[in-house]
């Protein structure tokens, strides 16, 4: 089948989903009110709470949630065939991710832009708030470990990408200094920097950088040394002010995201490549089953719990009108689904010209996992060649895209991990750890670093599945919060409950299958490290199911008891508060920093 046909069909479905389904959610489920006074106006301080044009908010939100994950997950999942992978991306984006991202933003706006973790403790239960904290700790540990491996693999396989990547760091700091000191717009300097980064690609081809001699001198493999160096960078970056490196990298990556999507989409249309991968692949015996593991392998790009941290973090503080939540939240999910679609096409139509060539790249699950990023890179390079871009340049371009997104995610991830470590330490009354930023950052780096350096070939594929399950648990908790709030608001929670139940069933099922596989494995690291980790996540999943069920039952009973009484108005536009706010949500309470999702 021509890839362009799939491309046009899926984009049309995404457009219909936004036009009709998000409109239904806005009117009948979340009850958006154009007269509602948003936290950006109520607590406007010119720093965090700033009423912002919806197009600007969308740009910030999209680049904050879009990273390497919607590329890597689909690049692995096509091992089972492009049909199941594409189906989950389409249905997951329209009926799960859009509901989740949009809903987390809407609930946060109605609760003074509080983080989803704080809302879990208030809307569901205090135990749910504790659960959320633990799940986020595991999620950030796994995502930082996985992305460090992604970056290290690309540095080893494509040494010509090292120079353009290193060039980006001082240039981004320069942009940060310029924007911060002059209070100027970031668009023009970020475009200039992006052009300079692309101009350095030919230099990277001429002067590829490897650390093989240094690795040999210290007795490490190049991949291991790169992982250590990447975490060293993440430690330093997470201690810098956000305006100095993290934010300007967001500016640059925002432009880079648009360029990458344009190259892929235009390359597919111009080249008219055919999808040579099978619709449903006849995988070798002993391979993991696509059902249910597909639904955790493709997390970002279908539904991602990490998005709820961003929606209820910085994004909720910038919403000008409550109705903008539909444009920002739902369309942001559609944008990430589009990136996942591009990854599927790159790994099924761009990476190979014949079925035999594709089969050689996806011989088994381990091979598919280990070469996922390389397959995407080569597929994008092929699409770029249709536009007159040399394939060698296209390879470096695609690798720079993945590394840029992954490193930005790690910058944020390590910073968020430090917050979580400090909050856990404060709860446990370990004051030195709670108050010492250096010590807390060391813990935030050491845990995922140890996981990434665990010996064995399972690191990428297996850790990605554990990341997916933890990410989906986070999404499940966010959906539970949304479902309880919708139920309490006397609106139909079915659109939220369906993806919630589906996620919890698939996640629990996948955890059980993985637990059996780890316990019976010959590798002692899987038996003594991954099996206990999987078991802990499974317990958290069961805990989440109990908490969500209890909260929903209580909310439904309260709703039933109130049946027949006059409906409570959704909001008072003068004060910007719910007419009957839940406990702890008094209109006189001060705004509470969201913390999670800081970009």
Instruction: Give tens-digit pLDDT for 264-281.
Output: 999 999 999 999 999 999
**Whether 441 contacts 138, CB under 8 Å:** no
Query: How much is the average pLDDT of 61-72?
Result: 84
The answer, yes or no, to whether residue 573 has pLDDT greater than 70, is: no
Q: Does residue 74 form part of some domain?
A: no
The pLDDT-based confidence of 136 (bands split at 50, 70, 90) is: confident
Please indicate, yes or no, if residue 385 is contained in any of the structural domains: no
* Statement: residue 187 has pLDDT above 80: yes
Angle in degrees, CA 174, 50, 329, rounded to 5: 95
Residue at 535 is within a domain: yes
Provide Rg for the chain, Cα atoms.
23
Could you report the per-residue pLDDT of 505-514, keeping only the tens digit for each?
A: 999 999 999 8
Q: How confident is the model at residue 419 (pLDDT cuts 50, 70, 90)?
A: confident
pLDDT value for 59: 79
Distance CA 354, CA 111 (A): 54
Residue 35: cis peptide before it, omega within 30 degrees of 0: no
Locate 49 and state its tokens.
Answer: 């709470």
- Does 7 map to a domain? yes
User: What is the predicted pLDDT for the residue at 566?
Assistant: 55
pLDDT, mean over the chain: 87
Q: CB–CB of 295/28 below 8 Å?
A: no
Which residue range is the domain that position 54 belongs to? 3-65+79-141+253-368+415-561
Cα–Cα distances (Å) from 488 to 131, 140, 237, in that order, read 22, 31, 42
Three-class DSSP labels, 524-545: HHHHHHHHHHHHHHHHHHHHHH
Which 3 state secondary structure label does DSSP give 406?
helix
Domain contains 432 = yes
What pLDDT does residue 463 have?
75
Residue 109 maps to a domain: yes
- What is the biggest distance separating any 2 CA atoms in the chain, rounded to whole angstroms? 78
Q: How many domains does the chain have?
A: 1
Q: Please give the average per-residue pLDDT across 309-317, as a whole number.
A: 85
Total-model pTM: 0.86
253-263: pLDDT as tens digits: 888 988 999 99
38, 576 in Cβ contact below 8 A?
yes
Question: 3-class SS at 274?
Answer: strand
Model confidence at 589, in pLDDT bands (50, 70, 90)?
Answer: very low
Give the separation between CA 339 and CA 65, rounded to whole angstroms: 11
Instruction: Place 587 in a pLDDT band, splitting at 50, 70 and 90.
Output: very low
- 71-75, 237-241, 303-307, 319-323: least confidently modelled range: 237-241
Domain-located, residue 421: yes
Q: What is the pLDDT of residues 477-509, one digit of tens each?
A: 899 999 999 998 889 899 999 999 999 999 999
**Average pLDDT, integer, range 355-364:** 95
Helix or strand or coil: residue 519?
A: helix
Q: Give the pLDDT confidence score for residue 47 in this predicted structure.
A: 61
Residue 387 domain flag: no
Residue 479 has what pLDDT? 94
19: Cβ contacts below 8 Å, ≥ 6 apart: none
């Amino acid at each position: 089948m021509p890839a362009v046909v799939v491309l046009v069909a899926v984009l049309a479905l995404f457009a219909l989903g936004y036009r009709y389904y998000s409109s239904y959610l806005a009117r009948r489920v979340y009850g958006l009110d154009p007269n509602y006074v948003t936290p950006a106006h109520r607590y406007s301080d010119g720093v965090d709470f700033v009423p912002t044009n919806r197009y600007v908010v969308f740009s910030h939100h999209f680049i904050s949630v879009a990273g390497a994950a919607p590329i890597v997950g689909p690049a692995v999942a096509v091992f089972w065939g492009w049909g199941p992978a594409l189906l989950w991306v389409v249905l997951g984006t329209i009926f799960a991710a859009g509901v989740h991202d949009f809903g987390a933003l809407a609930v946060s706006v109605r609760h003074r832009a509080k983080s989803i973790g704080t809302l879990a403790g208030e809307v569901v239960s205090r135990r749910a708030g504790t659960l959320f904290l633990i799940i986020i700790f595991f999620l950030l540990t796994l995502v930082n470990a996985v992305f460090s491996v992604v970056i290290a693999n690309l540095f080893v396989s494509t040494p010509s990408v090292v120079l353009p990547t290193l060039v980006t760091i001082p240039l981004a700091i320069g942009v940060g200094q310029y924007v911060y000191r002059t209070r100027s717009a970031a668009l023009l300097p970020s475009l200039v920097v992006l052009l300079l980064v692309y101009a350095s690609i030919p230099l990277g081809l001429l002067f590829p950088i490897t650390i093989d001699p240094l690795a040999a001198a210290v007795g490490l493999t190049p991949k291991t040394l790169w992982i250590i160096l990447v975490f060293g960078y993440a430690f330093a970056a997470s201690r810098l002010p956000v305006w100095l490196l993290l934010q300007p990298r967001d500016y640059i990556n925002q432009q880079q995201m648009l360029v990458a999507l344009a190259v892929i989409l235009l390359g597919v249309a111009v080249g008219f490549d055919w999808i040579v991968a099978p619709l449903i692949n006849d995988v070798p015996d002993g391979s993991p089953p696509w059902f249910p593991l597909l639904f955790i392998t493709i997390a970002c790009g279908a539904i991602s719990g990490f998005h709820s941290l961003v929606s209820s973090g910085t994004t909720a503080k910038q919403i000008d009108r409550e109705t903008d939540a539909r444009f920002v939240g739902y369309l942001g999910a559609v944008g990430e689904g589009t990136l996942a679609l591009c990854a599927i096409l790159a790994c099924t139509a761009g990476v190979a010209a014949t079925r035999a060539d594709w089969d050689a790249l996806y011989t088994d699950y381990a091979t598919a996992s280990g070469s996922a990023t390389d397959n995407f890179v080569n597929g994008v390079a092929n699409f770029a060649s249709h536009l007159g871009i040399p394939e060698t340049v296209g390879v470096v371009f695609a690798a720079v895209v993945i590394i840029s997104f992954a490193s930005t995610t790690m910058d944020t991830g390590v910073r968020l991990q430090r917050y979580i470590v400090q909050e856990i330490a404060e709860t446990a009354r370990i004051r030195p750890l709670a108050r010492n930023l250096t010590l807390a950052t060391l813990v935030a780096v050491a845990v995922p670093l140890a996981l990434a350096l665990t010996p064995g070939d399972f690191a990428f594929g297996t850790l990605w599945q554990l990341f997916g399950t933890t990410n989906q648990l986070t999404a499940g908790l966010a959906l539970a919060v949304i479902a309880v709030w919708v139920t309490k608001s006397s609106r139909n929670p079915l659109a939220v409950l369906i993806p919630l139940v589906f996620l919890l069933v698939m996640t629990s099922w996948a955890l059980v299958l993985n637990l059996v596989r780890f316990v019976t494995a010959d590798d002692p690291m899987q038996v003594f490290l991954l099996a206990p980790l999987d078991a802990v996540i499974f317990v958290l999943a069961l805990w989440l199911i109990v908490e969500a069920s209890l909260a929903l039952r209580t909310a439904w009973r309260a709703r039933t008891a109130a049946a027949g009484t006059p409906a409570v108005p959704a909001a008072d536009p003068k004060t910007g508060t719910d007419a009957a706010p839940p406990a702890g949500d008094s209109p006189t309470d001060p705004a509470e920093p969201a913390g999670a999702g800081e970009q």
